[in-house]
Structure 1
Amino acid sequence: MYGEAMSDIDSDKWLEAMKFEMDSMGSSQVWTLIDLPKGVRPVGCKWLYKRKLGADGEVTAFKARLVAKEYTQRPGFDFEETYSPVAMAKSIRILLAIAAWYYYEI
C-alpha cells in the first residue's frame, strides 16, 4: 500500500494526507512514547489510503489512516482480554424515548 501510494501520480497528496493524520494523532495525544520493555514485541502498523469522491465522481480529498496490525498479536502473550463496547438495543430505545418526550432534535 505505502509503495503504491508513493509511486502514484498523486504521491504529494498522499504525503500531505499522511502528515495531516500524524499531526492529528499528535494533537489528540493518541499515544505516549515509551521505552520498549525487554522481551516485548511492538505491534506494527500500516497505512491505509482512500480517495474521497464527490457526487460528480471527482476526487475531493485524499485520506490516509495509520492503523495497528493487531493480527500480529498473540493471545496470552501480547494481551489477556479483548473488549468491544456495544450499546444494548434497550438502552438506545430508552434514549430515543427520552428525546421524543422532550422534543429533542436527533
Structure 2
Amino acid sequence: MDGNVQTYKGRLVAKGFPQIHGIDYDETFSPVAMFKSIRILLAIAAFHDYEIWQMDVKTAFLNGKLEEDVYMTQPEGFVTPENAGKVCKLQRSIYGLKQASRSWNLRFNDAIKEFGFIRNEDEPCVYKKVSGSIISFLILYVDDILIIGNDIPTLQTVKTWLSSCFSMKDLGEAAYSLGVKIY
C-alpha cells in the first residue's frame, strides 16, 4: 500500500514468445474494469454508505482452462537426467502464456454468473446482483476484486463462495485499491 514490498513470490512462468497464433492460442484479449467505473461505484458506495470489501485471487491465471494443447520445455534446474528429453503438457493456464489473462477472465465470468451475478453489458468486469432491497456489486481488475453492497451477510456469502471457487486472500474492508486510498 505504501510502496514497500510486503511479500516476495516465486512463479513458474512460460516463455510465451514462441507461441504461434492459431496453433498455441487464438484469442488474447481480456477486459479489465475501467478506472472511471471503479470511481463511479465508489462514489455510489460512499453516497449510500455501502460496505466496500476487497479480495485478491492467489495465482489467478492458474485457474484458467486451456482450450489448446500447449507444451513447454522443462524449467531450468528441474530437469532430471532420466527425463532430459521430455516436455511438459500444460493442463492449466500459467503466467507467461499469451492467453493466460483471457482464460482466467472467462473462468471467473462463468463462476460468478453461476452464483447469480449479472455482467454489465457496457463494462464487462463489473457485476451486480439484486435481491429485493439487497444489492451487491463486484468489480474485477485482473486478480483484484472489490465487493460493494448494502447487506453484510450477503457480502460475507459472496466472499465465502468466491473462496470455495478460487484460492483467495481476504483483505477485509477496502483501504487502498489501484492507487486510490479509500476512507
TM-score class normalised by the smaller sequence: 0.3 to 0.5
Structure 1 or 2: larger strand share?
Answer: 2
Which of 1 and 2 has greater Rg?
1
TM-score by length of 2: 0.22
Structure 1 or 2: larger helix share?
Answer: 1
